[in-house]
Structure 1
């Protein structure tokens, strides 16, 4: 049997792999572990586990006179070192902050300091201190030449096709930014009945309503176009 064993040594503040000689006693082991874990030898409780995920204790190394080989240690088992008096150990003093005086500021005192994140954001106009975009919050200006009830004609991408109707709505909507013009077409060439996404802006027959940007709408004296049908088409 090899005289060296590789073990995981864990404690409240450390986790490392160590090579230990099987002939050393538990007393000498505790001296080594004090340097590794910071736990005084007299305060150590050493338990042996098969692995870190195994909750079953195989043995407790409580006899200082026994050699490690006595416990049948195998490579990559785990020695868990517990501290019976954490307040007396170096690591316990380092991690225990219960006795540390806390530096606290009132909200008013914090706001007066110039070396804080709050002061930095104020100086650089960041976050809630950033100037509000007036253009984004201002109400869009309504066109003066397009009024509800006006006759109109809408641009069409199809040559020779004109879409005429009556303006039924001018204003802002919930479905898009800026100003929209709602038109009731003379014929069923639209997309809705005056409502979009459950919100009603005007009322007309289905497929007669449409919403457009003002630059696509021309207001004028546009009469309703008569359909030119011959007898065969009737």
Structure 2
């Protein structure tokens, strides 16, 4: 069709590109817009905007007898349609979520459903439900380290040539960290605790004489008590 213009039609529920004949009247336009926007003809208030990027109102199409060309309608302008009585129609309700009842589940109800992402992960062993890799390090028993309770020992220090001596008071698993830990009572008050960590007691000694270290840092042997005058703050000690 020659002489048509391309415009945008916008309403509460629609936004689309349309081809409009500028020779039709406003009344004829309203009949077409009712099919596009769902706004009944008697309820339509139509304004002509400059463009999508420029919402200036160029004209109000309020005379049903006038043709669109009278208002200077041109390509890529916007015909904005407002429903002046939305209570009599369904316009605007498709985008108004305030009236929609929310569907909510408790954590227990969600866990019991079989059509959820959680259930899918459980069935397919995905994420935290995946089986542990066979290559994970096997559990090691305290006996495999040959560090008997009551043995004298030296604790490896980060400073070259400097070691700290004490007596093994505990070896085994703990609640504060994974793996095997060795509890040592130092000969001097250079430790971090009294044999307790996070309220759990593993052995008994004076405050600041106790420490927990990994077995790899412990050397068992005939180590006599020495007078030490140092203030250490070792990493990997609890």
TM-score by length of 2: 0.56
Q: 5 Å matches for 1:78-117?
A: 78-91=78-91
Distance 1:6-1:184 versus aligned 2 partners, 3 A rule:
same
CA distance in 1, matches of 2:85, 2:181: 76
User: Match for residue 34 of structure 1?
Assistant: 34
- The answer on whether the counterparts of 2:148 and 2:168 sit within 8 Å (CA) in structure 1 is no
User: Match for residue 70 of structure 1?
Assistant: 70
CA distance in 2, matches of 1:90, 1:223: 92
User: Match for residue 190 of structure 1?
Assistant: none
User: Match for residue 24 of structure 2?
Assistant: 24
Deviation, 1:19, is 1.2
CA distance in 1, matches of 2:17, 2:175: 68
- The answer on whether the counterparts of 2:153 and 2:223 sit within 8 Å (CA) in structure 1 is yes
Structure 2: give runs of 5+ residues left out of the alignment.
130-140, 199-206, 227-238
Can you list the C-alpha shifts for 1:10-61, whole angstroms capped at 9, x where unaligned? 0000000111111111111111111111111111000111133544322110
CA distance in 1, matches of 2:54, 2:214: 71
CA distance in 2, matches of 1:29, 1:13: 18
Structure 1: give runs of 5+ residues left out of the alignment.
131-140, 187-192, 226-234
CA distance in 2, matches of 1:33, 1:184: 88
Q: Does 1:217 align with 2:218?
A: yes
Deviation, 1:180, is 2.8
Number of aligned residues: 197
Secondary structure in structure 1 of the residue aligned to 2:57: coil
- The answer on whether the counterparts of 2:24 and 2:67 sit within 8 Å (CA) in structure 1 is yes
Deviation, 1:9, is 0.6
CA distance in 1, matches of 2:165, 2:94: 81
Deviation, 1:145, is 5.7
TM-score by length of 1: 0.57
